[in-house]
Amino acid sequence: MMLEKISSNKMFGGVQEHFQHHAESLKCQMRFAIYLPEGASKHAPVPVLYWLSGLTCTDENFVQKSGGQRMASALGIAIVCPDTSPRGVGIADDENQSYDLGLGAGFYINATEKPWSTHYKMYDYIVNELPVLIAANFPVSNKKSISGHSMGGHGALTIALKNPDKYCSVSAFSPIANPINSPWGQKAFSAYLGSDKTLWQQHDASVLMKASTQHVPALVDQGLADDFLQEQLQPESLISAALSNNYPLILNQHQGYDHSYFFIASFIESHLCFHAKHLGQS
């Protein structure tokens, strides 16, 4: 698989780069960002944290706003940031250009309904295709964890819960914790998966956590001044699921913090340290 380098910048001793490539699972060109800490080489491969961004975001948001590269460099962890949906001419998108469906809103699932099913296979891309591409082209080990924000927090949690053998740990900021009961989730799942709600449940972190038999250590941070807290995010559902199943979930709630990257930047270092512990880097 051919990679085209878009940019490369020295940062905290390591290098922040952006690439594009043809994604077989999505049938389009895709971009991703990767931060490689100082010292990463084929002789000293490093573990990887995959970061999944939220609605309207791209591969750029975490890179430019989180400041996470400083701690990633200190801990010796690579960070991979994919885009949030397929993009390009001829790719299905919401005709009303809604921010919460279509472009920038892939929800990290495999769409089964037309017109979305041709390109919107974000689950396959994140779980299967992208890790193979990263392993083949960069000095990374076979250890990986996953994290994300909002829609990306939903993606990180559900992907880890569905693939406990693939990830050492999972974390999320302000995740859509119970999308089958959230307006965002209901809109996306109806369009991408159709009316069969048993399919929806396969991509709901609260449902999956309640039924989980193999646990991946999980960390969630939620701001209590988040405008989307009650209607869209519903962290209480995740807490209830974890308690019912004795799931190893740490969920921190923070007074005064909202849904923005100001919140993420405030606590990203604690998330990276959490993952480093489970990746064997601390």
Q: For 75-111, write each residue's pLDDT tens digit.
A: 999 999 999 999 997 898 776 679 999 999 999 999 9
Task: Please tell me the distance from the alpha carbon of residue 45 to that of residue 10, in angstroms, as a whole number.
Answer: 19
Task: Please tell me the distance from the alpha carbon of residue 272 to that of residue 79, in angstroms, as a whole number.
Answer: 10
Q: Could you give the 3-state DSSP secondary structure of residue 196? A: coil
Q: What b/e readout covers 214-252, taking b as 16+ CB neighbours within 10 angstroms?
A: ebbbbbbbbbeebebbeebbbbebbbbbbeeeebebebe
pLDDT at residue number 149:
99
- The model's pLDDT over 30-73, given as tens digits with 9 standing for 90+, comes to 999 999 999 999 999 999 999 999 999 999 999 999 999 999 99
pLDDT at residue number 89:
76
pLDDT at residue number 225:
98
pLDDT at residue number 90:
84
pLDDT at residue number 96:
66
Task: Please tell me the distance from the alpha carbon of residue 116 to that of residue 211, in angstroms, as a whole number.
Answer: 29
pLDDT at residue number 193:
98
Q: Output the CA–CA distances (angstroms, integers) from residue 269 to 45, 111, 253, 274, in the order listed.
A: 21, 34, 16, 9
| 254-265 mean pLDDT | 98
* Domains of the chain, earliest start first: 3-278 (3.40.50.1820)
pLDDT at residue number 93:
79
pLDDT at residue number 1:
65
Rounded to the nearest integer, the mean pLDDT of the chain is: 97
| 254-270 mean pLDDT | 98
Q: 94 or 6: whose pLDDT is higher?
A: 6
pLDDT at residue number 97:
74
> What is the pTM assigned to this prediction?
0.98
- Tell the residue number behind the tokens 């990203």, with chain if given: 268
Residue 19 reports pLDDT greater than 70: yes
Residue 142 reports pLDDT greater than 70: yes
Residue 282 reports pLDDT greater than 90: no
Catalytic site positions: 150, 226, 259
Name the nearest CA neighbour of 271 among 205, 128, 175: 175
Residue 135 reports pLDDT greater than 80: yes
Task: Please tell me the distance from the alpha carbon of residue 29 to that of residue 168, in angstroms, as a whole number.
Answer: 29
Does the bond joining 45 to the residue before it have cis omega, within 30 degrees of 0? no
pLDDT band at 143 (very low <50, low <70, confident <90, very high): very high
> What are the DSSP E strand ranges found in the chain?
4-11, 14-23, 28-36, 46-52, 78-82, 140-149, 170-173, 218-223, 249-254
pLDDT at residue number 271:
98
For 216, which DSSP code? Answer: -
Residue 241 reports pLDDT greater than 90: yes
pLDDT at residue number 100:
96
